């Protein structure tokens, strides 16, 4: 196979800027040699060109190439209710979200929502997502079918609950187990799909449901686990009352045997030092969703305390509690939130934001051997951000005096309109309408798993 040499200004974070001051790697005239969807060599363009005259050069002139974004918390059934502002979590669930989630009982509706959702991910440059699914097994089969068509990497699962939602969204421990098992057998590890065992949150899950989830995690140790935790003070108080025998919210998951290296818990705002210590001991990730936390008034995220305790943190959009699919916007809101926290906040640099949107997500999903940065051996999952001609962002980038300034401007001003092209495993999964064919690579099959 003839390799492709992508020529672009690129940036990536192969290590964490929270522990490595030189984590941001920049190639202003860079080359990524890609063969069979995998980056074979990564470096400066001239050197790679001289060493590989046989490669087909693909010039991504203008803008910046970044590793594909990784969203570690986003709800598939909620795409059509983004923007339900003005309500705290439990009120928003009851009046905005759960009525919409009930509509996914209809397979035609669920398929249309899955298409909207997957389109939202890829046109924002998201190439991998840990997806909070639907309460309906049929809607999850449809989701995985549609996801396979797009070529995106998805980790997703049936959401299970047996109390305090709406009757049509409730299941039983036996069904949670048997439907979860059937979905794992059918989809986990098939193409680019993986499975996540997903109780909605302890408020809506009895011990029986959590035990059914734990049975799946123990039977299939390489599946993922995800849920919500410590998002809202009323929620935390209710969970305390529902589980009088547990030490705290985290303990409801821990005592069931659900926590491990592949566990991602969304929010964790109103957390305790004991919980943070236990999350670190289990190597869990906290998915920080700053737009959602702001929109629902859930509270400011204690990033400093997480990092001090050794808890890994990645970013999630939390659509539809969040305000959209853009991880650029999420990075900016994370930055704002830490600024507003004053002494309790952690000042974030553009390198931190890039790491949180890419490599940190790959680590959360235990996929950092395969994705998250542009090192040799990684899959070519990439987003080319190239502002449209005449846009303000183009003018800013034209006059940026350092890569760090360029990156800051992309987070501050970048939107869906600046996403020009997106690849997963070397296959194009999105090209901006109107992108000229000379700018666009020949399509490879997006269903090739690499």
Q: Are 129 and 154 in contact (CB under 8 A)?
A: yes
Considering only residues 256 to 285 of the shown chain, the ones binding ligand GUN according to CB under 6 A are none
Please say which residue, 74 or 422, places its beta carbon nearer to ligand GUN.
Answer: 74
For ligand GUN, the binding residue among 231, 363, 373, 381 (CB under 6 A) is 231
Binding of ligand GUN at residue 97 (CB under 6 A)?
yes
Please say which residue, 78 or 124, places its beta carbon nearer to Zn ion.
Answer: 78
- The item of Zn ion, ligand GUN, none sharing an interface with residue 231, based on CB under 5 to 8 Å by kind, is ligand GUN
Binding of ligand GUN at residue 89 (CB under 6 A)?
yes
Q: Are 450 and 379 in contact (CB under 8 A)?
A: yes
Residue with tokens 């800051």: 408
Q: Which stretch binds ligand GUN (CB under 6 A): 14-22, 89-97, 335-343, 406-414?
A: 89-97
> What letter would DSSP give residue 324?
-
Considering only residues 294 to 323 of the shown chain, the ones binding ligand GUN according to CB under 6 A are 318, 321
> What letter would DSSP give residue 103?
G
For ligand GUN, the binding residue among 7, 12, 25, 75 (CB under 6 A) is 75
In the complex, least distance from residue 9 CB atom to Zn ion, rounded to whole angstroms: 34
> Which residue in the shown chain puts its C-beta closest to ligand GUN?
321
In the complex, least distance from residue 248 CB atom to ligand GUN, rounded to whole angstroms: 17
Binding of ligand GUN at residue 292 (CB under 6 A)?
yes
Cα(442)–Cα(259) distance, rounded to whole angstroms? Answer: 43
Q: Are 356 and 362 in contact (CB under 8 A)?
A: no
User: By CB neighbour count within 10 A (0-12 exposed, 13-18 middle, 19+ buried), where does 412 fall?
Assistant: middle
Cα(65)–Cα(406) distance, rounded to whole angstroms? Answer: 12
Please say which residue, 93 or 334, places its beta carbon nearer to ligand GUN.
Answer: 93
- Backbone dihedral region for residue 367 (phi beyond 0: left; psi -120 to 50: alpha; all else: beta): alpha
In the complex, least distance from residue 47 CB atom to Zn ion, rounded to whole angstroms: 45
Please say which residue, 74 or 148, places its beta carbon nearer to Zn ion.
Answer: 74
Please say which residue, 4 or 226, places its beta carbon nearer to ligand GUN.
Answer: 226
In the complex, least distance from residue 321 CB atom to ligand GUN, rounded to whole angstroms: 3
Residues forming contacts to Zn ion in the complex (CB under 5 A) are: 266, 318
Residue with tokens 């190597």: 283
Select from 330, 274, 327 the least CA-distant residue to 305: 274
Binding of ligand GUN at residue 228 (CB under 6 A)?
yes
Q: Please write down the HEC assignment for all residues of 358-391.
A: CHHHHHHCCCCCCCCCCCCCCECCEEEECCCCCC
In the complex, least distance from residue 314 CB atom to ligand GUN, rounded to whole angstroms: 16
Residue 64: which H helix or E strand, with range? strand 64-67
Considering only residues 139 to 178 of the shown chain, the ones binding ligand GUN according to CB under 6 A are none
Please say which residue, 8 or 284, places its beta carbon nearer to Zn ion.
Answer: 284
Q: Are 12 and 353 in contact (CB under 8 A)?
A: no
In the complex, least distance from residue 275 CB atom to ligand GUN, rounded to whole angstroms: 17
> Phi/psi at 421 (nearest 5 deg)?
-155, 150
The contact set with ligand GUN (CB under 6 A) reads 75, 89, 93, 97, 200-201, 228, 231, 292, 318, 321
């Amino acid at each position: 196979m003839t390799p492709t040499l992508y020529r672009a200004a690129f940036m990536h974070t192969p290590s964490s800027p929270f522990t490595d001051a030189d984590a941001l790697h920049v190639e202003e005239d860079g080359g990524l040699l890609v063969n069979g969807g995998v980056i074979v060599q990564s470096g400066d363009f001239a050197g790679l060109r001289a060493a590989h005259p046989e490669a087909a050069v693909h010039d991504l002139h203008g803008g910046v190439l970044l590793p594909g974004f990784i969203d570690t918390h986003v709800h598939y059934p909620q795409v059509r209710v983004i923007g339900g502002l003005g309500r705290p979590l439990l009120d928003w669930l009851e009046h905005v979200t759960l009525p919409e989630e009930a509509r996914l009982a209809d397979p035609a509706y669920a398929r249309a929502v899955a298409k909207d959702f997957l389109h939202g991910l890829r046109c924002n440059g998201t190439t991998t997502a840990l997806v909070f699914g639907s309460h309906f097994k049929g809607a999850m089969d449809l989701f995985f079918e549609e996801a396979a068509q797009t070529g995106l990497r998805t980790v997703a699962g049936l959401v299970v609950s047996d109390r305090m939602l709406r009757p049509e969204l409730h299941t039983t421990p036996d069904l949670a187990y048997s439907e979860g098992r059937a979905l794992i057998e059918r989809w986990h590890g098939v193409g680019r799909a993986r499975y996540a065992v997903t109780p909605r949150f302890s408020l809506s899950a009895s011990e029986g449901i959590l035990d059914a989830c734990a049975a799946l995690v123990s039977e299939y140790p390489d599946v993922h686990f995800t849920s919500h935790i410590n998002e809202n003070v009323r929620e935390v108080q209710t969970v305390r009352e529902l589980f009088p025998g547990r030490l705290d919210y985290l303990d409801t998951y821990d005592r069931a045997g659900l926590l491990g290296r592949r566990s991602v818990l969304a929010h964790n705002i109103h957390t305790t030092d004991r919980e943070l210590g236990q999350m670190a001991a289990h190597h869990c990730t906290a998915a920080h969703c700053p737009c959602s936390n702001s929109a629902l008034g859930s509270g400011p995220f204690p990033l400093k305390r997480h990092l001090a305790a050794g808890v890994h943190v990645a970013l999630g959009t939390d659509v539809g509690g969040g305000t959209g699919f853009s991880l650029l916007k999420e990075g900016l809101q994370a930055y704002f939130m830490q600024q507003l926290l004053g002494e309790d906040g952690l000042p974030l640099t553009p390198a931190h934001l890039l790491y949180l949107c890419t490599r940190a997500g790959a680590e959360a999903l235990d996929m950092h051997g395969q994705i998250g940065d542009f090192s040799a051996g990684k899959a070519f999952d990439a987003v080319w951000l190239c502002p449209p001609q005449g846009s303000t962002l183009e003018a800013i980038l034209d006059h940026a005096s350092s890569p760090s300034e360029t990156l800051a401007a992309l987070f501050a001003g970048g939107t869906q309109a600046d996403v020009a092209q997106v690849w997963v495993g070397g296959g194009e999964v999105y090209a901006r309408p109107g992108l000229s064919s000379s700018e666009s690579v020949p399509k490879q099959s997006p269903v090739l798993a690499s």
